[in-house]
Amino acid sequence: MIEIDPQYLAHRYMAQWTVADGVERRVAIEQLWSEDATHTLQPPAEIREIAAQLGFANTTLEAQGYDAIETRVARSYERFVETGGLTFRARADAVRLHGVVKFGWETVSTETGDVVGGGMEILVLDDDGRIKADYMFPGA
C-alpha cells in the first residue's frame, strides 16, 4: 500500500467538490478515485424519513464509476457552491488505519465564513492509494 498523508488526501478530496471547471473536476476525480469506485451517501434524516414512509427499507444513495461520481460531484457543486453560496473544507482530524482514512468536513458560508454544516467521511483505499469506496455521513 502506498503511503499517503491522510490530511493531504482529505484536503484533495474536499477540494474536488468545489472545482468549477468540468475538465479540471474530471481530472481530480480520476486522480483520486479508482475506476470502479463507489461513493455511498447516507442522506439527511428528513430524506431517510420520507423514504421510510414510502416503504423503502434501504435509503442509502450510491454512485459507482467515474461518470456517476463526476455527475454526483458536479450536481453538488451546482447546488451548494455555484448557487448556494457555500464551500467545503476538511477538518484537521484526518487519520489513517491501514487502507482506511477517516475525517470530518465542514460546510462553510462563502459570505460570512460561518460553518453551517458538515459531516464525516470514511475512505477505503486501493493498493495504489486511490479511493475505492467512500462512505459519506452528512450531519455526523
pLDDT single digits (tens) 37-81: 999 998 877 887 888 888 887 778 899 999 999 999 999 999 999
Q: How far apart are CA 125 and CA 99, in angstroms?
A: 5
Q: What is the pLDDT of residue 61?
A: 85
Under the banding of pLDDT at 50, 70 and 90, the label for residue 28 is: very high
Q: Which residue reads 459507482 in cell numbers?
A: 64
Q: Where are the domains positioned within the chain?
A: 6-138
> Is the full-model pTM beyond 0.85?
yes
- Amino acid identity of residue 53, one-letter, is Q
Q: Where are the alpha helices (DSSP H) in 1-140?
A: 6-16, 22-32, 45-53, 65-76
CA atoms within 13 A on the CB side of 7: 3
Question: What pLDDT was estimated at residue 47?
Answer: 81
Of 3.40.50.2000, 3.30.590.20, 3.10.450.50, 3.40.50.720, the CATH number of 6-138 is: 3.10.450.50
